[in-house]
Amino acid sequence: MNDIKTLKNRAKKYLDNADEKTIRMVYAMLEIEAESDWWDELPQDAKASIERGLRDIENGDVSPHEEVMKKYKKWLS
């Protein structure tokens, strides 16, 4: 993964070449992020579910996407 300095430089390069609409969207996203943390807005049960999922990932208790799609294909069509 890129270090933060590289990511910042890439982001600056993208913004330097972005159109007005993109710049306004990025600005709005950053402004909202500065005002609040989305995590604080989640219900407790959603936070608990996310935390369980992160623990599953850490423990390697995951299934490949292709495997899951095969298993549940009948419900997705």
State residue 40's pLDDT score: 84
Cα gap 51→37, rounded to integer Å: 16
15 three-state secondary structure: helix
| 39 CB-near residues (< 8 Å, 6+ apart) | 47
Q: How confident is the model at residue 2 (pLDDT cuts 50, 70, 90)?
A: low
Say which DSSP state 21 is in. H
pLDDT score at 34? 61
pLDDT at residue 59 tops 90: yes
Give the global pTM. Answer: 0.45
Query: Is the pLDDT confidence value at 1 over 60?
Result: no
- At 7-41, the pLDDT tens digits run 899 889 999 999 999 999 988 888 866 666 778 88
Q: What pLDDT is attached to residue 45?
A: 96
Q: What is the DSSP letter of 16?
A: H
Please enumerate in sequence order all residues whose Cβ is within 8 A of that of 56, keeping only pairs 6 or more positions apart, or say none: 62
